[in-house]
Each structure stands twice: as C-alpha cells, then as structure tokens.
C-alpha cells in the first residue's frame, strides 16, 4: 500500500486541512512555500495521466474549497501536479500541490533555450 493510501487509512498520521467523502487535503511534511498543502483522491490512482475527468471535476470543486478554507482564494496560489519520472513525481498516488502564502518564485531559466527553438 502506498504512503498516501496509508494516510487515508489513518495508518500514517497527517495534518488535515479539509476532507470530504472522496478527497483529502493535508499539509506537506516538507513545505516548499509558506503554505504547502497536498490534495489527493482517497481512492488510489497513480498519476494525473490515469485519472478520470469525472474525478478531476469533483477534485476541482474540492480544491477551490481548500483554497477558501486556508484563505488564499483571493490572494492567489499555485497548483502543481508532477506526473511521472520526467515530471519529478516521487509518490505514485495522484496529488496536487497547493502552494501559497506569499509571492511565489517562478524559474525563468529555460526561457533562453526556448527562444532558439
């Protein structure tokens, strides 16, 4: 069983932000921004490439609720999912990183190489 399934099953503790029948949002253990929340479907699906549109539709609404609950709905936030090896996915249970709590840096280091394409 994967680590996030163990969190859903309460075998591993978590710091819950918001919960519904189908989704869970909890604080990332190693935050990369002042606010760093992970949003997951309770049912295991390995990555974004394999998630259904139906789940994503419901996950959109849940994510908006999370943003409102933690107070970043007006100030803004960033939503990221790392998909597969090249995307840098480390936990193979679909999750969205919700980052916020201040102006977030954006890496422009690839722009010069893109111009030459």
**Residue positions annotated with a catalytic role:** 95
50-89 burial code (b ≥16 CB/10 A, e <16) = ebeeeeeeebeebbebbbeebebeeeebeeeebeeeeeeb
Q: How far apart are CA 46 and CA 68, in angstroms?
A: 27
- Tell me which of ligand AMP, Zn ion, none is bound by residue 44, counting a contact when its beta carbon lies within the kind-specific cut-off of 5 to 8 angstroms: Zn ion
In the complex, what is the shortest distance from the CB of residue 63 to ligand AMP, in angstroms, rounded to a whole number?
Answer: 15
Return the number of the residue (40 or 72) whose C-beta is nearest Zn ion.
40
Residue located via tokens 């932000």: 17
Q: How far apart are CA 93 and CA 87, in angstroms?
A: 14
Q: For binding to ligand AMP (CB under 6 A), which residues are involved?
A: 3, 12, 14, 28-30, 38, 82, 88-91
Q: Which stretch binds Zn ion (CB under 5 A): 12-20, 23-31, 86-94, 103-111?
A: 86-94
Give residues in contact with Zn ion (CB under 5 A): 2, 4-5, 44, 93
């Amino acid at each position: 069983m994967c680590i996030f399934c163990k969190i859903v099953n309460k075998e591993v503790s978590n710091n819950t932000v918001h919960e519904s029948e189908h989704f869970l949002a909890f604080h990332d253990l190693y935050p990369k921004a002042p606010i760093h929340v992970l949003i997951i479907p309770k049912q295991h699906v390995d990555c974004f490439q394999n998630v259904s549109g139906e789940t994503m539709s419901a996950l959109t609404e849940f994510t908006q609720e999370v943003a409102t609950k933690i107070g970043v709905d007006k100030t803004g936030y960033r939503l990221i999912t790392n998909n597969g090896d090249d995307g840098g996915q480390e936990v193979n249970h679909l999750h969205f990183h919700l980052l916020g709590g201040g102006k977030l840096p954006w890496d422009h280091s690839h722009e010069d190489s893109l111009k030459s394409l």
